[in-house]
């Protein structure tokens, strides 16, 4: 039984101030998934780390957050959502400050692990609270605002991190969280309503198996590129642990009396389909973000700040589409918006597959805006429809799964495009260079000095071949992502338009009073 009554979404004082506080905390956490990336080279010397070991600054945070995300629902029911939210934001802010004063790699990794553990619950709790404090007819607008923070954060993270690192030093990448965290905590402490607690048995075995699977998967994805994937025993061990953890967790969930995650959640067709969809969106969103900055740097020679300026319109496109969707989602079938968003995203990737080393900035900006519009059109309706028919008592657990699956999709997407890029680069370079011989009349005509064996000309020729091979490899990745986007279209037919509250929802809400 619940100890205090649930929120009446039609009678929430200071809803606007609550939303501001929640979104500040959300953006702070989401930014930290990408803001530290550009600061890694400058951290290396200060922390006494090597280029190989400094990546643990990112890996430790990602793995810790992934393991802790699924337990958010149980912690919220056991200790209260408001209390848990405040604790996580305070802990995240404190750990951010400690990361900023780290004196060695070991201390940084330890603080990043703690930061990931605290930060894991912020995103699912923010989504849950925004659904709780808004009536059903305002869920679309609430998810539009929440989605803007979730999707724009990773886009501006590298730019903000690069500016802070160049203007001050890498420690300000973490210190910037202090004022944001203080304002968010103050707002939530004063205005955030309390939610009832609920006694739930903790399925430690189920949690341990899920954590084993998720943690091993994240480690495998993050470390695979560094150790050449399955040529290293480490990856095989992590693969075995992942399969074992997930298999045992699934069997245990289906047979246990009180499993860690209630399998009834997956009986809701909209939510189950939404999980698949958000997995695909995770692949597209962060995989493209992982490809574009190095492409602009390696092929076009842009510095970090310039890259951020060129990519900024992508975030503008996302925010514009989310604002529009938030206003029309009650009047338009959400499934049509999802289809339109996927088609726009696929179109942008199709145009990106026509990129060349000689193009100007306009095409990059144009495709970024179109892709931002498309992803915004998908994310908001999807976040709304996925929870529209779900029993409110599952909301926190469902939000945790939603966040976890999106993050796993991002990790898998980044790993796939990185592997494909590296493999295609070798193949393309070999194919292009195979024709560069003194007997090729085109080479003799275009670069006679290179055909004659001049060392400087040969170096210039090799540089041109490298750029072309790299460009073709990026184009192949964009084509692959376009195919993934189009393959997700049939999933729309599995979504159903919510015309009424879910069965049992009213009774459950009444029982929570």
The C-alpha atoms of residue 123 and residue 399 are separated, in whole angstroms, by 8
Q: Are 82 and 188 in contact (CB under 8 A)?
A: yes
Task: Retrieve residue 396's tokens.
Answer: 């926190």
Task: Retrieve residue 48's tokens.
Answer: 């006494």
Q: Render pLDDT for 433-486 as a digit per residue (tens, 0 to 9).
A: 776 666 666 655 666 665 556 666 666 766 777 888 888 999 999 999 899 888
Q: What is the DSSP letter of 164?
A: H
Q: Are 131 and 387 in contact (CB under 8 A)?
A: yes
Low-confidence ranges of the chain (pLDDT < 50): 1-5, 500-513
- What is the model's pLDDT at position 453? 60
Q: Render pLDDT for 141-188 as a digit per residue (tens, 0 to 9).
A: 787 778 777 777 777 777 788 788 778 888 888 998 999 999 999 988
* HEC string for 25-71: HHHHHHHCCCCCHHHHHHHHHHHCCCCCCCCHHHHHHHHHHHHHHHH
User: Rounded to an integer, what is the distance from CA 190 to the centroid of its chain?
Assistant: 30
Q: Say what angle helices 56-68 and 204-223 make with each other, to 10 degrees.
A: 150
Q: What percent of the chain clears pLDDT 70, i.e. is strictly above it?
A: 88
- What is the model's pLDDT at position 442? 61
């Amino acid at each position: 039984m619940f100890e205090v009554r649930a929120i009446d979404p039609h009678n929430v004082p200071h809803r606007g101030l609550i939303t501001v506080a929640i979104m500040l905390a959300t953006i702070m956490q989401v930014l930290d998934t990408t803001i530290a990336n550009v600061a890694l080279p400058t951290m290396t010397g200060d922390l006494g780390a090597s280029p190989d070991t400094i990546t643990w600054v990112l890996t430790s945070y990602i793995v810790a957050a992934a393991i802790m995300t699924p337990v958010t629902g149980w912690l919220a029911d056991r200790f209260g959502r408001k209390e848990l939210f405040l604790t996580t934001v305070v802990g995240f802010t404190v750990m951010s400050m400690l990361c900023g004063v780290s004196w060695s790699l070991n201390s940084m990794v330890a603080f990043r692990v703690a930061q990931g553990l605290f930060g894991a619950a912020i995103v699912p709790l923010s989504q849950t609270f925004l659904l709780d404090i808004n009536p059903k007819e305002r869920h679309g607008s609430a998810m539009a605002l929440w989605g803007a923070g979730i999707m724009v954060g990773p886009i501006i993270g590298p730019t903000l991190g690069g500016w802070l690192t160049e203007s001050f030093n890498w420690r300000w990448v973490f210190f910037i969280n202090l004022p944001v965290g203080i304002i968010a905590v103050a707002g939530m402490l004063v205005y955030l309503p309390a939610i009832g607690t609920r006694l739930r048995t903790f399925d430690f075995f189920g949690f341990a198996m899920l954590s084993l699977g998720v943690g091993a998967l994240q480690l495998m994805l993050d470390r695979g590129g560094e150790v050449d994937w399955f040529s290293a025993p480490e990856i095989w061990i992590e693969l075995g642990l992942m399969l074992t953890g997930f298999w045992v967790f699934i069997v245990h969930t289906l047979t246990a009396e009180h499993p860690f995650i209630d399998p009834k959640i997956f009986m809701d067709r909209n939510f189950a389909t939404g999980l698949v969809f958000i997995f695909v969106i995770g692949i597209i969103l962060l995989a493209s973000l992982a490809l574009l900055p190095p492409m602009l740097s390696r092929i076009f020679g842009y510095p970090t700040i310039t890259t951020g300026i060129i990519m900024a319109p992508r975030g503008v496109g996302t925010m514009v589409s989310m604002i529009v969707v938030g206003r029309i989602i009650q009047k338009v079938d959400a499934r049509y918006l999802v289809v339109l968003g996927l088609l726009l995203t696929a179109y942008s990737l199709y145009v990106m597959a026509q990129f060349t080393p000689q193009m100007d900035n306009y095409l990059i900006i144009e495709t970024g805006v179109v892709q931002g519009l498309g992803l915004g059109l998908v994310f908001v309706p999807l976040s709304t429809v996925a929870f529209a028919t779900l029993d409110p008592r599952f909301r926190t657990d469902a939000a945790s799964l939603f966040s976890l699956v999106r993050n796993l999709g991002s990790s898998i997407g980044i790993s796939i495009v990185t592997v494909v890029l590296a493999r295609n680069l070798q193949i393309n370079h070999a194919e292009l260079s195979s024709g560069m011989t003194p007997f090729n009349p085109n080479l003799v005509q275009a670069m006679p000095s290179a055909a004659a064996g001049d060392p400087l000309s040969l170096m210039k020729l090799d540089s041109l071949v490298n750029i072309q091979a790299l460009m073709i490899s990026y184009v192949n990745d964009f084509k692959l992502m376009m195919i993934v986007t189009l393959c997700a279209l049939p999933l729309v037919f599995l979504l159903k338009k919510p015309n009424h509250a879910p069965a049992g929802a009213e009774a459950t809400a009444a029982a929570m009073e």
